[in-house]
Structure 1
Amino acid sequence: MRKYTLLIFTLFLFFQDSFSQTEPRLDSMPGYQPTIMVIPFAKEGEDWRQQLEQDKVMLTAVTAVREGFATAGYSTVDLRARLRQLANDQTIEWGNLTSVKQEVIELSGADIYVEVEPIINNSYNGSTGGLIMTAYDAVSGVSLANHTSHSPSFYTKQYERLVQRAAEEGLLEFIPQITASFHDMLMAGRVLALNITLAPSVSYDLDSPVSGSDLLLAEVIANWLGENTLRGQYHLQGMTATKMIVDQLRVPYLHPTNGQPYRAYRFAVKLRNFLRELGYDCERDVQGNKIFITLN
C-alpha cells in the first residue's frame, strides 16, 4: 500500500510541477516584437488538418508550445484558424504539404514559425515524451534555433501529459535561443538572394552600355545594389553577359519608413522600378527569400 501511495504522490508532483516552473520572459525588443506561429512537423502527403484533429499528442504539442510563447510575451498565430481560413478562401490540394505550408505561412503574417515533432518512447522503465522544436525565419526559411527535450520516464499511457512536460522543460532553453537569434537578425539584417536573367528576345545583354552613362548595365546594377543593401552588403556569386547571380544580399529586417518587416517582394519591386526608370522592361518573381528578375 505504501508503494502505491508513493507512486500516486510522485505522479501528482509530476503533473503539477509545471505550474511552479519559472516561465521564460521576452525581454524588451526595441521597436518590434516578432509574431510566432507553431506548426506540426509533417511529411509530404500528410494532412495538417487530420494531424491536429486525430492525433491528440500532436495537438497537445502544438498547443503547449504556442501557449508557452504566449506566456513568454510573444504574439502568436492560431494555426487551426489559419487552416480554416485557407480552406474557406480557396480550393487547395491538402496532400501537397509544401504548397499548403507556404500558403499558411504567408497568410499568417508570422515573422517566425516553429515546427514541433512529438516523440513517445516506451520501455521497461516506463514511457518518455520527447519534443523536437525548430524555429525558422518565415521569409528566408533560415533556421534560427532548435532544441530537443524529454520528460522523465513514468509508467503511464497519458502521452499528452508527457509531451506537455517535455514542451515546458524545452521552452525554458528554446525561447532564449530564439530571442537571441532574432536580436541578431534585427542587427545583421535579412538575407535575400537575387537572380537576374535576360529573355531570349532582347537585343542587349548585361555587358551593353547604359544610355547616358559610361557604365555597362551590370555595373549600374552592381552600384545600385551597393547603395540599396544594408551597409552595402552583397555577394556576387557569378556573372555572364546574360546572367547575374547574387547568392547573398542583406536588407534591413524592418522597413525604414513604416517599421514593418522588410519582405523580399519590396526589394524586388524597388529594383524593378529602378530598371524601368533606365528604360529596361522586366518581370519579377519572388519565391521565399529568392528574387528572380527577367529583363525583356
Structure 2
Amino acid sequence: MKKLIWLVFACMLALPGYSQESATRGTANNVRQPNVIVVPYAKEGQDVRQLIENNPLVSRAVSKVKEEFGNRGFTTKDFVTLLKASKRNDIISATTGAKSDPVKDVVLESKADISVEVKIFVNKHANGSSEVSLELQAAEAISGESFANASYTSDKFITQDSLKLAERALGKVNDDFFTQLQNGFNEMMEKGRNLNVRIELGPNSGIDPYTEMKTGNDLETELQDWLSNNSYGGNYDINSSDMVIDISMKVPIYDQVSGKPYNVTKVRGPLISFLKGLLTSEEHEPKTKASSGQQIWIVIQ
C-alpha cells in the first residue's frame, strides 16, 4: 500500500504545475491561451470609427483575422463592438494633438492579453495591375511588446476589385503566425513583461542617484537591491543621470495568486514606501506623477 501511495505521489510531481518552480512562480509556467483583440492600424489623429465604417478593406480584414483566431480556439474581444459601445469622445475620435491613443484605449478597456494590429493597403502599379498587402503585428496588450508578425500579399492582378484581392491576401494567413504568437506569449509568461519606472529627483530635493541614504549606501545601490528582490526573476536594468533614474524591470503578466492580469500598483506602492524609508527628510516625500499599465513615474521634490 505504501508503495502505491509513493507511486501516485511521484506521478503527481512529474505532472506540469507540481514542480517546485511552479509552486514558487505561480501561474507563469502554466501554458495559457491568451485573449486576443484584433485592431485596425490607424494613423495619429485618424477617426477610428470612420475608418472602420467607411473603409471596407479595413473592416473586412479586422473581421476575417478575428475569425481566424476564433477558428483556432482563441477567445477574442470584438474591437468594433467595444468601439461603438464606448461613450468616450477621445476613444471614438482622437483629435490632433491629443495625448491618448484611441485604439490603445479600447485595447486596455477590453482587458485582452494580446492586441493584433491589422494593416491592409492597395499597391497600384504602372502596368495597371494592383496588389493588396496585409501586415499583422501581435503585441502584449499593456506594454506593447511585439512578439509575432507576418506579411501576406494577394499577388499582382489587373483588376480594380480591391476586395477580391484582399480576400486572396487574407486567405494566405496560416498556422505559422498563430504558432509564433502562442510561442511568443508563452515565453513572455516565463520571463515577464517590461515595466518602465522613472524616478525624477527635483532640483530642491537635495539628492541625486549617488547621495548617501540612511543605510550608508547610495540611492542607486539601494534601488538595485530592491529591484533584485522585486522584479520578476530578478531581471531589471537601471540607468541614472544627475536628476533622473530610469528603470526597466520585468513583472509577471498575471498575478501569481489570483491569476488575474498583474496590476502595477503591486510595484508602485511598495516602491514608494521603500523610498520613503530611505529619505532622511519628510519634506522630500516621493509622489506618483503618472501611472499606467506600462509605466510608473515618481517624483521626489
Matched, 1:283 2:287: yes
Q: 1:230 to 1:43 in 2, by over 3 A?
A: same
Runs of 4+ in 1 over 6 A off after TM superposition: none
Q: Are the aligned partners of 1:225 and 1:234 in contact in 2 as well (CA < 8 Å)?
A: yes
Aligned to 2:246: 245
Separation of aligned partners in 2, 1:151 and 1:173: 18
Q: Are the aligned partners of 1:144 and 1:182 in contact in 2 as well (CA < 8 Å)?
A: yes
Q: 1:165 to 1:173 in 2, by over 3 A?
A: farther
Q: What is the deviation of 1:227?
A: 0.5
User: What's the secondary structure of 2:275's corresponding residue?
Assistant: helix
Matched, 1:166 2:169: yes
Q: 1:270 to 1:74 in 2, by over 3 A?
A: farther
Aligned to 1:195: 198
Q: Are the aligned partners of 1:193 and 1:249 in contact in 2 as well (CA < 8 Å)?
A: yes
Q: What is the deviation of 1:216?
A: 3.2
Matches within 5 A, 1:56-205: 56-86=56-86, 88-89=87-88, 93-96=93-96, 98-122=100-124, 127-153=130-156, 157-205=160-208
Give the superposed CA RMSD: 2.7
Give the TM-score taking structure 2 as reference length: 0.76
User: Which has the larger displacement, 178-187 or 267-276?
Assistant: 267-276
Give the TM-score taking structure 1 as reference length: 0.77
Separation of aligned partners in 1, 2:74 and 2:151: 21
Separation of aligned partners in 1, 2:146 and 2:107: 15
User: What percentage of residue pairs aligned between the two structures are identical?
Assistant: 28
* Count of paired positions: 264
Q: What is the deviation of 1:74?
A: 1.3
Q: What is the deviation of 1:73?
A: 1.4
Q: Are the aligned partners of 2:48 and 2:103 in contact in 1 as well (CA < 8 Å)?
A: no
Q: What is the deviation of 1:292?
A: 1.5
Q: 5+ unaligned residues in a row in structure 2: which ranges?
A: 1-28
Q: Are the aligned partners of 1:141 and 1:288 in contact in 2 as well (CA < 8 Å)?
A: no
Q: 5+ unaligned residues in a row in structure 1: which ranges?
A: 1-28
Q: What is the deviation of 1:223?
A: 0.9
AA in 1 matched with 2:106: V
Deviation track 1:25-65 (CA, whole Å, cap 9, x = no partner) reads xxxx9353211111111222321111111111111001001
Q: Are the aligned partners of 2:287 and 2:298 in contact in 1 as well (CA < 8 Å)?
A: yes
Deviation track 1:173-201 (CA, whole Å, cap 9, x = no partner) reads 22111112111111121122222122333
1:215 aligns with one of 217, 222, 231:
217
Separation of aligned partners in 1, 2:257 and 2:241: 32
Separation of aligned partners in 2, 1:205 and 1:237: 13
Q: What is the deviation of 1:239?
A: 4.5
User: What's the secondary structure of 2:171's corresponding residue?
Assistant: helix
User: Which has the larger displacement, 112-121 or 265-274?
Assistant: 265-274
Q: Are the aligned partners of 2:33 and 2:182 in contact in 1 as well (CA < 8 Å)?
A: no
AA in 1 matched with 2:246: I
Q: What is the deviation of 1:129?
A: 3.0
Separation of aligned partners in 1, 2:84 and 2:128: 41
Q: Are the aligned partners of 1:139 and 1:263 in contact in 2 as well (CA < 8 Å)?
A: no
Separation of aligned partners in 2, 1:244 and 1:126: 54
Q: 1:274 to 1:32 in 2, by over 3 A?
A: farther
Separation of aligned partners in 2, 1:48 and 1:146: 22
Q: Are the aligned partners of 1:36 and 1:75 in contact in 2 as well (CA < 8 Å)?
A: yes
AA in 1 matched with 2:194: V
Q: 1:168 to 1:233 in 2, by over 3 A?
A: same
AA in 1 matched with 2:144: G
Q: Are the aligned partners of 1:139 and 1:264 in contact in 2 as well (CA < 8 Å)?
A: no
Matches within 5 A, 1:219-234: 219-234=221-236
Aligned to 1:35: 35
